[in-house]
Structure 1
Amino acid sequence: MAAGDLKWKNTALLVIDMQKDFILPDAPVSVKGGKSIVPNVVRAVEVARSRKIPIVWVVREHDPLGRDVELFRRHLYSDGKPKPTAKGSVGAELVDGLVIKDGDYKLVKTRFSAFFNTNLHSYLQGIGANNLVVVGVQTPNCIRQTVFDAVALDYHKVTVLVDATAAATPDIHIANIFDMTNVGVATPTLEEWCKA
């Protein structure tokens, strides 16, 4: 293993909720700032692949009847309405430009945190990853919850790429980045991380 590869040996990249229903502007649960970060997320994935960093694609996939959705979202699954990120739907697919490749890992979640009621922690332990890099949407919900759970689980280093994550508004994004920084999370730009 080359010296550069050793530096990233215990790191995994989590790509969170980069799905059409969250990213496309006319989607039912669109995150306003989501589309603008797609090129940076694509680049982060490319850099991770070049560094041989394992990629975990964290996606929401719900029962089309909404039986596994949080109570506050169940109204979105009533008759006649679009069913956000329903399993097998176009909206549950990754946005164009992002592709799950052989060797990547797809993790399905039904709540904000990628750790909640999933096998993510066991998977990461199994591959020896104790450093996480996080990209995707949206900052106050799935990003923040996943990051705070990673901190609580004592991952050695948690990094959020500040310009490869997004929220509904820049103010919301910045406020949540500030909170994560206060608990020891690194928040470099994509360019800073690429140069690391």
Structure 2
Amino acid sequence: MASRPDALLVIDMLNTYEHEDADALAPSVRKALPGIRTLLERARADGAPVIYVNDNFGQWRSHHGEILRAALAGRHADLVEPIAPDEDDLFVVKARHSAFFETPLGYLLEQLGVVRVVLCGQVTEQCVLYSALDAHIRHLDVVVAADAVAHIDADLADAAVRMMERNMAVEVLPARDIGFAARP
């Protein structure tokens, strides 16, 4: 029997950093970049789907190129450029906190046969937490790369990680310990 693939979900990393929490967030994103890059390299090398799930900045454009261009023109392009999508990556636009809420992500994962998602990105205590919960209630196995998520509030992020582990059976690992089952 062929293995079912894992998918890497990169949450809200294409960011213009033009919001009130940007100054609190940016240092944490900077620390998370090496872990995110490790996950991107591993997922791509293993042939696992890489799916960017990103806010639309309220512009209601569905083309990922516009969102990427806006992020690269933002205050912290140096936080976007190293983890920009490549031509094989998939893209889902979201408008709320969860990567799943009123998006086609669930359908996409089903079509790909994905049973385990690895989450990285921002913000641990918001979008990552809500996406993990929605993945859990969809009976997906969930892994959060502890060193590849960024936060605004460290205490809330720590509490969110504990809640994901305890209440959702999320596996929390360093990026270097995460491998990917590829598409058959």
TM-score over 0.5 (shorter chain)? yes
Q: Computing the radius of gyration over CA atoms, which structure comes out larger, 1 or 2?
A: 1
Question: How much does 1:21 deviate?
Answer: 2.5
Q: Could you list the runs of 5+ residues in structure 1 that have no partner in the other structure?
A: 1-5, 69-85
Instruction: Give 1:138's aligned residue.
Output: 123
The answer on whether the counterparts of 2:5 and 2:180 sit within 8 Å (CA) in structure 1 is no
Question: How much does 1:57 deviate?
Answer: 0.6
User: If the length of structure 2 is used for normalisation, what is the TM-score?
Assistant: 0.80
SS of corresponding position for 1:95: helix
The answer on whether the counterparts of 1:61 and 1:108 sit within 8 Å (CA) in structure 2 is yes
The answer on whether the counterparts of 1:15 and 1:57 sit within 8 Å (CA) in structure 2 is yes
Percent identical: 27
User: If the length of structure 1 is used for normalisation, what is the TM-score?
Assistant: 0.75
The answer on whether the counterparts of 2:14 and 2:84 sit within 8 Å (CA) in structure 1 is no
Check if 1:158 corresponds to 2:142. yes
Q: Give 1:126's aligned amino acid.
A: Q
Q: Which of 111, 114, 118 is the aligned partner of 2:99?
A: 114
SS of corresponding position for 1:133: strand
SS of corresponding position for 2:162: helix
Q: Give 2:89's aligned amino acid.
A: D
The answer on whether the counterparts of 2:6 and 2:114 sit within 8 Å (CA) in structure 1 is yes
The answer on whether the counterparts of 2:6 and 2:180 sit within 8 Å (CA) in structure 1 is no
Question: How much does 1:195 deviate?
Answer: 10
Query: How much is the aligned-residue C-alpha RMSD, in angstroms?
Result: 2.6
Q: Which of 99, 108, 120 is the aligned partner of 2:84?
A: 99
Q: Could you list the runs of 5+ residues in structure 2 that have no partner in the other structure?
A: none
Q: Which of 6, 12, 25 is the aligned partner of 1:11?
A: 6
Shift >6 Å, 4+ stretches = none
- Equivalenced residue count is 166
CA displacement 1:30-82 (0-9 Å, x = unmatched) = 22412211121111100111111100011111334xx89xxxxxxxxxxxxxx
Instruction: Give 1:168's aligned residue.
Output: 152
